[in-house]
A and B are shown apart, each in its own frame.
Chain A
Amino acid sequence: MDRRALIADLKSQIAGSGTEGASGFGVIPLGMQVADLLPGGGLRKGALHEVAAAAYRDMGAATGFLAALTACAMKASSRPVLWCEARRPPFDMGQLYGPGIAAFGLDPVRLLIAVPPSDGDCLWIMEEALRSRAFSLVIGEIDGRSAALGLSATRRLQLAAEETNTLALLFTAHAKGNASVAVTRWHVGGAESRNVLYTDEIEMLPGRPRWDVSLARCRGGQPGRWQMEWSAEESELSLVSLVEEVQAVPLPVLREVEDKIVFLRQTA
């Protein structure tokens, strides 16, 4: 009897330490095509992740990628999301804009915005938010070069996230970050969107949001670089083949009006 109990205990210990494996933790699915890229099939819950812009000019793109992850988190849970906005350089490319957030496919009612006065306060708010268990995702904007953001600070966040099984995201601007215990680290840049044509004129219009995403570090998975596209209707990310894609131009809608054929704008 004693032996069996011992074996069961050892087994449970092995299972417990194996969280690096595929089944030991919950994930937030990001989309069908992206599932294979990450261990467990999505962004790991109860862990700290880092997103950085490839350059200062790509802060908008990185914001977009963060918003995409936020939308996925909102889809997976009914709890609200906290976004700590720095509103200081290098985070000076505008403030989160309600109509834009709504258009992106996020629910603005479930988004809380905090404006901490300093980086240290931002860490404090993030940790409190994680420990309150009230949020499904906590995002903090802290410059990667900030003195407040060290190994111990990220470890505190990681522990708080682990304890409450909440997703934590750090947006570390474009700088090369300090040492961190984040489970994944993403670098996001802008990517040319697919052409959308609607008349025979050569006029190119911006299409769906698209980013050049590289996974610089991934615990238990493979780093890589992909182009990802965001679909606001489906609320999911999809991969774009880097091979020259066939331009799937949506066919113009034809309608006959008094024997004349007119081209109408294709609406989404």
Chain B
Amino acid sequence: MRLTACDVRALDAGAEPGQLVPDAMALCPELELHASDREADRKALERLSVWCGRYTPWVAADPAGLGEEPDGLLLDITGCAHLFGGEAKLLSLLCGRLEGFGLTARCAIASTPGAAWACARYGCEAPCIVPPGKEAEALRSLPVAALRLGGEEIDGLVRLGLKRVGDLYGKPRAPLVARFGANIARRLDEALGFEPEPISPNLPHIPYRTSLAFTEGLTRQAHIEEAIKRLAADLCEVLEQERKGARRIELQLFRVDGEVTRLFAGTSFATHEASHLAGLFHEKLGFLGDDFDPGFGIEAITLACLAVDPLSLEQGSFDKTGEQRFGLEQFVDRVSNRFGADRVLRLEPRASHIPERGGAAVSALRGISPAMRGWKTYMGEHRAAVLGGSLPRPLRLLPVAEPVDVVAEVPEGPPRIFHWRKIAHRVLRAEGPERVSPEWWRGGNQRTRDYYRVEDAEGRRFWLYRDGLYHRDNDGPRWFLHGVFE
């Protein structure tokens, strides 16, 4: 067992990461040990990276995309610092907040990610800002490990006597590359700004985003909603200028204690109507009700469009129909965002003869799909097959067919009496069988079904089927009730 991390006091006592536990205990008997939990560490870092989203939308875990576990955050504050009163203010604000959360953090601002990384991890303990163009000076006295190199490369350099980053300045490149590969030269150039190094954030690129910060935390829902209205108005102004409409929006509520609540809303049509967007979050917050906890207050709110569509050129017709269509879509948006997209549905036909696969309910947020036009042909096909005006398919289909006890006159004939949900039904009229063969290409042991439409003595109509065939299936067919007719 080895130590994976130590706090400042443990470091002072002589313990260090990578040390064997007995060695550390020998140095410092009063050492307090906790089992390391990588999953929890990763999650905590992820939460922190979301929280850092209030300073800049470009936050990446560090090292991003490498094999190692990330143990830091990279923030691209280009164009963001002035919103917080300059780089120095931003840095002290950030450090102060992190300290408030009880975290020990080392921060540095530099023109390149490499230089900032080196200063934060190997520079002085206090937060530092490297002015543009002074990277070489700032890194000169740091150990070569500050260049984000692998263990072998560091050992090799140290063996050659190149212990400081400054030792590498002005050295001929060719022998270095020949001996260690191109990595060392590349890392040095990246740190000094001779080679570009983009940060890839762990968030999708968000083109439209507005935020509001408050000096005093908001605790009342009405106040929060008012702030959302203002943000939506700002966002929609930008959208309208670009002739875009929002399809998916995200609301982030930053609590004073560092928790971030993220709410998502979708729309079924591209819109830049501020009151509609704000209304969607009104539904969300309303549905959360008492579950929504603003804690000690909401100190900042961010509203961002995750997906936009170009606005359709047809803008409301003169007759009433256009207006009504709009009302329908707004209704679908509101209800879907309040209760979930799977609670407002439209029916869609599917190309299958198996009854339960013949139709599906899909979210109405997706609008009318081309497949829904298929209902017309479906209706035509089935009308022709009906005898005497009774209908071929039931209005209600059970999600799972329920087994029933059946008495039939002849084994392959229609049922005469069946018991369903503890009630006996005497069948007077029956029509069938309508044979539905299994879809062999799906595999599994499905059996052939013979469907009967039956009517009992009181005039109630049901849809029953016999599962399996007498001559083929040895254990004998069983009966199921699958639907209830009108």
Interface residues of A (CB under 8 A from B): 57-61, 63-65, 67-68, 78-80, 93-104, 107-109, 111-117, 121, 125, 128-129, 132-135, 189-196, 198, 204-212, 230-233, 250, 265-268
Q: Are B390 and A193 in contact (CB under 8 A)?
A: yes
Q: Is B347 an interface residue (CB 8 A)?
A: yes
Residues of A within 8 A of B486 (CB): 60-61, 63-65, 67-68, 104, 209, 211, 230
If the complex has contacts A93-B398, A97-B394, A230-B486, are A102 and B375 also in contact, measured as CB distance less than 8 A? yes
In the assembled complex, 10 residue pairs joining A and B whose CB atoms fall closer than 8 Å, in A order, are A97-B394, A103-B379, A107-B375, A113-B344, A114-B345, A128-B334, A189-B459, A206-B454, A207-B429, A230-B486
Residues of B within 8 A of A232 (CB): 383, 389, 391
Q: Is B137 an interface residue (CB 8 A)?
A: no
If the complex has contacts A94-B397, A97-B397, A266-B387, are A111 and B339 also in contact, measured as CB distance less than 8 A? no
If the complex has contacts A60-B396, A94-B397, A132-B328, are A208 and B388 also in contact, measured as CB distance less than 8 A? yes
Cα distance A232–B394 when bound, in Å?
Answer: 13
Q: Is B292 an interface residue (CB 8 A)?
A: no
Q: Which of B8-16, B31-39, B174-182, B358-366 contacts A (4 or more CB under 8 A)?
A: B358-366
| Set A194, A204, A209: member contacting B428, Cβ < 8 A | A204
Residues of A within 8 A of B321 (CB): 78
Distance of A119 from chain B, by nearest CB (Å)? 13
Residues of B within 8 A of A133 (CB): 324, 327
Residues of A within 8 A of B461 (CB): 60, 190, 193, 206, 209
Q: Are B324 and A268 in contact (CB under 8 A)?
A: no
Q: Are A60 and B395 in contact (CB under 8 A)?
A: yes
Q: Is B296 an interface residue (CB 8 A)?
A: no
Residues of B within 8 A of A63 (CB): 395-396, 484, 486
Residues of A within 8 A of B332 (CB): 112
Q: Are B396 and A134 in contact (CB under 8 A)?
A: no
Mask, B452-476, CB within 8 Å of A = 1, is 0111111111100000000000000
| Set B330, B358, B386, B458: member contacting A98, Cβ < 8 A | B358
Known pairs A96-B396, A132-B330, A267-B387. 12 more at Cβ < 8 A? A65-B486, A95-B398, A95-B399, A98-B359, A100-B485, A103-B379, A103-B382, A103-B391, A112-B332, A113-B345, A114-B345, A232-B383
CB-nearest residue of chain A relative to B325?
A: A134
Q: Are B395 and A268 in contact (CB under 8 A)?
A: no
